[in-house]
Amino acid sequence: KEHLAESWNQFNMLEEYQKEYPSLNIIEQFLHSLRQESRQSWSELGKSIIFTNQLLFKTGLAARFLPTTLLTVFHQTWLNETEINSRNAPVLVLTPDQRVLLGGTMVNWIVEQQIERALHFGYQNKWEDFEREISNVPHANWVPSQNLPWLIMELEMNITIREIQVEVARHMIQPIMNNNSESNMRNTVMQLNMGEGKTSVIVPMLALSLCSSSSSLVRIIVLKSLFPTNYQSVRYKLGGLLNRRVLSFSCRRDMNFSESQANQIFNRLQYGLSQRDVVLTSPEDILSFDLLTIDKCRRNEFDVGRSMLSTQRWIKTYVRDILDESDEILHVKYQLIYSIGGQKQVDGGLERWRTIQSVLNLVKKHATSIATDYSDDISYKVSERKSSFPEFRLLNHRPFPELCKRIAKDWLNEKTFRQLDEELILQFILDTSVPIICLKDRFPYNIVQLLLIMRGLLSSEVLFVTLKKRYRVNFGVNPNPKFNRLMAVPFRAKDVAAENTEFGHPDVGLVLTQISYYYGGLSDLQLRQCFDRLSQNENDPEVIYNEWISLEEDNDTIVRIKQWKQVNLKDKHQRTEQLFPTFRRNVQVINYFLNNFVYPHESKQFPHKLIASPWDLSSSARKKIMTGFSGTNDTQLLLPVLIQQCDLSELKKTDAVVLNNLLQPKNEHYQDLPISASSEEILKQIVITEPMIQVILDVGALFIDGN
């Protein structure tokens, strides 16, 4: 609250005044004179260079006299002067006067490009862009001769670096700490509004300024989901005239490095330092390399582990990290876990997932009444068939205690505990403060284990965590045929499964697997597996089939499949048109499939785990500082201990700017939708809305039932 108030006060201090801009004709006249000046400078420069390098040009050993050639020579000469260990000799020799003339010509070219962009916006009647472009004074707060790589990037990318971008880059190159900061808190992150060129401009600027052939290898850390886009962007900006290689560093647990491969990684990083290369990677890859090093040593592969450990130590000495989207990279919710040891069945085994199925059946039973009592706190949609699980999602915590009480009471009624014990059991599974010692003397081990499972689901809120998640957005079954697991996995976005990731808590994984199949149903192949097992392996298939069919409404069930004896699995028409559509989302059939084909093989746990988190990125053993930025600062109070939020004073108004943009008159139109609105209902509402909506940004994945 105080931060927002300070941001708003600074925003209100901004002075607004009317600016006057020259006409397009005057701008064109200035552009014409500037071009003449540039041509004259280029002509004089050419004569001078040819005169001082006569022998090279006469013998044909000189490179062609082109801007790209001269800029490369100029850049290498500048690096040789600014870098102690730089020994690459340029193909031409430029005198100091020639360098000054070439630098001035480059500045002219950059101003020409800026004017051409402004004229383009003006002739297209894009006056807001025109004013933004023409108001940007090039090189106002930095000297091109001291930052030649920035100047070359401006020219090659056809951009003009803005003053605030220079201020942010300087702040990240050498953070100015607050007076009350502790000396060991050198790593900083800062906030810069979205659309201000963080990834496209400032990151390349930092990479060019921070790299040193003797002391600093720049490593850019980006989100895994943004890696392909950022890799192409950084390579495009740094790989041309600036001639910087961009190395991608990846590491996964299935990369079984040999000692030779580990040494190659180390040697390539050292070579990258000498050549001023830039490394692009993700937090998953960094933490995976750290955990893999420990795992190699644990497996007594000491030669490989020693080499990887040497690489780690070298990285902590020479690597300078830049975090892009630091709020997400350093978020407390992120963890990387390596399971260690032999697989074994989850504690409780069969009873564990049957208990979960029983609890979800009680959720199904009370869904309608709870949704009626707490209509604003629950997203609820009645299932099409009696045998299916309804769409039921908790929007907040308010309905959960009441749901737990109803589930606990009904669950106890299904059991055969003594009446004297029921009150104690009810307290135990609904209140985490009740000690377990009160049960150990009264019940056998298997009963205590069962009560602990119920306690975990209800009072420890495993059920609440799972019922808050959205199917196909936060979790689901990975549809990729190459992924050979059938249990639910985390999703990064709608229908985008997180690669090589599982839920760390066994009960969370089991509950979300149940819900995934309840919502998505079984495929024809999975249903065929169920019926084949029913007919071939069960002693009394008719009893089981009767349990399945009893959940269906008589009116919705075809007469020919009401009895097991009438089912003919060889009849393709009956199988695909009658049997499978009826049982696809039947909760009993789904439970049967999971109990026999999924959980016995995949519901495993490991005795030990290796865990890494964002805190490990900012290790105290690092010699170089780490800096980052993001469009938001919501998580500044949850940052790792060795990283602090350190915003520029000029940017403290960022939150207020965002708030002011949201409060503009053009954003005042708002139309609410029902909590459980379908894609069709939303589209109908969009079609009839005036003025006509031309673009739909489905930020909240509202079109969840569509593709």
CA angle 218, 222, 227 (to 5 degrees): 110
554-576 pLDDT, tens digit per residue, is 777 888 888 898 888 888 888 88
Angle between helices 163-173 and 203-210 in degrees, nearest 10: 40
Cβ neighbours of residue 55 closer than 8 Å, sequence gap 6 or more:
61
Task: Measure the CA–CA gap between 323 and 645, rounded to whole angstroms.
Answer: 13
CA 468 to chain centre: 20
Q: Give me the helices (H) in 415-523, please.
A: 419-430, 437-440, 445-457, 462-468, 506-520
Q: Provide the token pair at 16.
A: 């607004």
| Dihedral in degrees, nearest 10, Cα atoms 543, 545, 547, 553 | -140
pLDDT reported for residue 702: 79
Which structure tokens are listed for 242? 């600036």
Residues forming beta bridges with residue 491, ordered by sequence position: 497
- Contact in structure between 204 and 232 (CB atoms under 8 Å): no
Q: How far apart are CA 25 and CA 353, in angstroms?
A: 77
Query: How far is Cα 696 from Cα 681, in angstroms, rounded to an integer?
Result: 14
At the fourth CATH level, which superfamily is domain 163-341+606-668?
P-loop containing nucleotide triphosphate hydrolases (3.40.50.300)
Beta bridge partners of 555: none
Do 198 and 240 form a contact (C-beta atoms < 8 A)?
no
Phi, psi angle pair for 185, to nearest 5°: -95, 75
CA-to-CA distance for 702 and 676, rounded, in angstroms?
Answer: 9
pLDDT attached to residue 387: 92
**Which secondary-structure segment (H or E) carries 157?**
helix 148-157
| In contact, 674 and 377? CB cutoff 8 Å | no
Could you list the beta-strand ranges (E) of 271-350: 278-281, 319-324, 336-340, 344-345
Closest by Cα among 404, 341, 342, 336 to 370: 404
**DSSP string over 585-644:** T-HHHHHHHIIIIIHHHH-EE-SEEEEE-GGGGG-TT-SS-EEEEES--TTGGGS-TTEE
Count of C-beta atoms within a 10 Å radius of residue 179 = 4
Q: What is the pLDDT, as a whole number, of residue 185?
A: 47
Q: pTM of the full predicted structure?
A: 0.83
What are the domain boundaries of the chain?
Answer: 22-161, 163-341+606-668, 350-520, 524-584, 669-707
Angstrom distance (rounded) from CA 135 to CA 131: 6
Of 185, 329, 331, which is closest to residue 641 (Cα–Cα)? Answer: 185
User: What is the distance between the alpha carbons of residues 432 and 457, in angstroms, rounded to a whole number?
Assistant: 11
For residue 567, CA distances in Å to 477, 514, 546, 552, 556 come to 30, 27, 12, 16, 17
Angle between helices 445-457 and 419-430 (to 10 degrees): 40
State which residues of the chain have pLDDT below 70. 1-4, 6-8, 10-18, 83-91, 176-185, 675-676, 706-707
510: left (phi over 0), alpha (psi -120 to 50) or beta: alpha
DSSP, res 471: B
- The DSSP-derived string for 353-402 is HHHHHHHHHHHHHHHHHHHHHTTTTEEEE--SSTTSPPEEEESSSTTHHH
What's the start-to-end Cα distance of the chain, in Å?
40
Rg of the chain taking only CA atoms, in angstroms: 33
Residues 6+ apart with CB under 8 A from 1: none
* Continuous segment of H or E residues that includes residue 62: none
d(CA 398, CA 122): 55
> CA-CA distances (angstroms) from residue 48 to 102, 109, 453?
11, 20, 84
Percentages helix, strand, coil for the chain (3-state, rounded to 5) are 55, 10, 35
Give the list of residues 6+ apart from residue 520 with CB closer than 8 angstroms, or none. Answer: 471, 476, 477
Tell me: the pLDDT tens digits for 177-194? 554 444 444 789 988 888
The maximal CA–CA distance of the chain, rounded, in angstroms, is 108
Nearest to 334 by CA among 319, 323, 318, 345: 323
